[in-house]
C-alpha cells in the first residue's frame, strides 16, 4: 500500500499527493492544519524518522500553521502552538502553553498540568511524555512545552493535532476560568472542581449541594427533571452534585465544594432513577464520580446536545398539589438558570408533524404561510 507521505532522500523533501515540502531553515517542515488529514500518523512518523536519519539528528519538527489556507505559505507563514515531531524515534505532539501566573513555582506547576491532562489524554489514547519550561524569563509570562505521545493505530496526523489543540484549550480554561461545557467536563474528570468556584450557574451548568433523595419518588422525579431540562435544551448541560450555589443580584454563583458520600452503588442508583423516569434515554449520557479517597466526592451528569428527533424528553410522573401522580408526564427545558415548561402548542405541533409523516409521508403545511 503506498504511503500517504514519504521522505525523498535524493531531493531531501517530504512528498505527499501532488505536493512536496522542503525543510525550512531552523524551523523544520511546515504544514497547514488542513493538510494533516491527508497523512496517516504512522506514515508521517516514518517520513520524519527518515529525515532524522539522513541528517543524523535526534529530532525533526513538523510545525503546523493555523488560519486561512489561501494565505498559507510554507516558507513564511508563522506556525501555531501545536507541532508534531519525531524525537529519538518517538512521534510526539508538542504544545506550547503560556501561563500568566504571578506566583511562579517551577516545581509544582508541572504537577498541576499533569493532573489536568492525565484523564483527558487517557480517553484520547495518549499520555504525557514530558513537560518543561522553554526559557526561564524569571517573570511572567512563562512558556511551557508539553510533549504528548499518542497511539498511532488507525489515526491521521489531523487526529494528533486535535489532541494537542484540545489540550491547550483545556489548560487555558483551567487558568482563566473561561469555561465551556466541554472543558468543564474535562476539569471535573481531572478532579479540578475547584475551578468552578466563582462561576455562574446558567444555561448549561447546574449544581446541587446534596444527593437527590433516590429513596423517594420526589427525588427520582427531581433528578429526571434536572436531566430532561438539559436534554430538551439546545446545548445540553452538566449537573454537578457536591457543590453549593449562592444567590447574588445577578443570579447564582457556585460558592463552594461540599463533597457528598460515594459508594459502590451511587452511580447505579442514579442510572436506575433515570432509566425508570426519563424517556427516551438521552444519547451518550455520562454519569461519573470523582471520589476524594475518604468515601466522599462529587457526582456529575453530562448531557450532550441531543438530536432534535429525540425531543421532547419526557419525565414519567409529576408532582400535583404536593402529591406524586405516576400517570402524569412532565416536559421541561433549561432557560438561563431556571427551567420552563414546554407549551401545549409546541407539544401538539410535534405530535401533529409526526403523525403527518406516518400517514402521508410529509409535514403539514404551516397555516401562517
Peptide bond into 76 cis (omega under 30): no
Q: What is the dihedral of CA 185, 186, 189, 191, to 10 degrees?
A: -100
Bridge partner list, 208? 241
What residues does each domain of the chain span?
A: 6-176, 199-360
Angle ∠(188,99,243) on CA atoms, nearest 5: 25
Q: How many CB atoms lie within 10 A of CB 39?
A: 25
Q: What one-character-per-residue DSSP string does 139-195 give?
A: SS-EEEEEEEEE--TT-BHHHHHHHHHHHHHHHHHHHH----HHHHHHHHHTT-GGG
Chain centroid to Cα 110, Å, comes to 21
Report the alpha-carbon distance of residue 166 to residue 37 in Å, rounded. 17
Q: Count of residues for the chain?
A: 369
Report the alpha-carbon distance of residue 334 to residue 340 in Å, rounded. 6
Look at the block and give the residue holding cell 527518515.
Answer: 50
Look at the block and give the residue holding cell 401522580.
Answer: 325
Peptide bond into 316 cis (omega under 30): no
Enter the pTM of the model: 0.74
Assigned CATH class of 199-360:
alpha beta
- The cell numbers describing 24, all together, are 525550512
User: Over its length of 369 residues, how does the chain's per-residue pLDDT go in tens digits?
Assistant: 689 999 999 999 999 998 999 998 877 999 999 999 999 999 999 999 999 999 999 999 999 999 999 999 998 999 999 999 999 999 999 999 887 665 546 667 788 889 889 989 998 999 999 998 886 556 667 788 999 999 999 999 999 999 999 999 999 888 877 889 999 999 999 998 988 888 888 889 999 999 999 999 999 999 999 999 999 998 999 999 999 999 888 788 899 999 999 999 999 999 999 999 999 999 999 999 999 888 999 999 999 999 988 888 988 876 655 666 655 676 766 555 444 445 556 665 666 666 666 676 655 565 555
Amino acid at each position: 500500500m503506498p504511503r500517504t507521505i514519504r521522505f525523498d532522500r535524493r531531493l531531501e523533501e517530504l512528498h505527499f499527493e501532488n505536493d512536496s515540502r522542503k525543510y525550512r531553515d531552523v524551523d523544520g517542515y511546515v504544514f497547514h492544519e488542513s493538510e494533516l488529514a491527508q497523512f496517516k500518523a504512522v506514515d508521517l512518523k516514518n517520513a520524519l524518522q527518515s529525515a532524522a536519519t539522513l541528517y543524523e539528528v535526534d529530532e525533526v519538527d513538523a510545525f503546523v500553521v493555523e488560519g486561512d489556507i489561501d494565505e498559507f505559505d510554507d516558507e513564511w507563514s508563522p506556525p501555531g502552538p501545536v507541532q508534531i515531531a519525531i524525537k529519538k524515534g518517538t512521534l510526539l505532539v508538542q504544545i506550547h502553553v503560556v501561563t500568566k501566573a504571578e506566583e511562579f513555582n517551577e516545581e509544582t506547576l508541572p504537577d498541576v498540568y499533569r493532573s489536568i491532562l492525565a484523564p483527558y489524554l487517557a480517553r484520547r489514547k495518549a499520555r504525557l511524555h514530558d513537560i518543561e519550561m522553554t526559557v526561564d524569563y524569571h517573570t511572567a509570562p512563562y512558556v511551557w512545552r508539553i510533549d504528548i505521545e499518542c497511539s498511532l493505530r488507525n489515526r491521521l496526523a489531523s487526529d494528533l493535532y486535535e489532541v494537542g489543540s484540545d489540550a491547550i484549550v483545556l489548560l487555558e480554561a483551567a487558568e482563566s476560568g473561561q469555561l465551556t461545557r466541554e472543558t468543564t467536563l474535562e476539569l471535573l474528570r481531572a478532579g479540578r472542581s475547584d475551578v468552578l468556584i466563582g462561576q455562574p450557574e446558567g444555561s448549561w451548568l447546574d449544581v446541587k449541594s446534596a444527593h437527590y433523595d433516590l429513596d423517594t419518588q420526589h427525588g427520582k422525579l427531581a433528578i429526571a427533571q434536572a436531566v430532561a431540562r438539559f436534554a430538551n435544551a439546545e446545548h445540553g448541560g452538566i449537573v454537578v452534585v457536591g457543590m453549593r450555589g449562592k444567590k447574588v443580584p445577578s443570579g447564582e454563583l457556585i460558592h463552594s465544594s461540599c463533597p457528598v458520600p460515594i459508594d459502590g452503588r451511587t452511580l447505579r442508583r442514579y442510572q436506575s432513577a433515570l432509566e425508570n423516569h426519563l424517556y427516551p434515554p438521552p444519547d451518550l449520557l455520562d454519569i461519573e464520580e470523582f471520589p476524594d479517597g475518604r468515601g466522599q466526592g462529587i457526582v456529575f451528569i453530562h448531557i450532550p446536545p441531543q438530536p432534535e428527533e429525540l425531543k421532547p424528553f419526557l419525565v414519567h410522573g409529576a408532582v400535583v398539589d404536593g402529591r406524586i401522580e405516576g400517570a402524569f408526564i412532565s416536559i421541561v427545558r433549561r432557560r438561563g438558570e431556571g427551567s420552563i415548561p414546554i407549551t401545549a402548542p409546541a407539544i401538539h405541533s410535534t405530535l401533529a408533524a409526526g403523525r403527518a409523516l406516518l400517514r402521508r409521508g410529509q409535514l403539514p403545511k404551516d397555516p401562517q404561510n
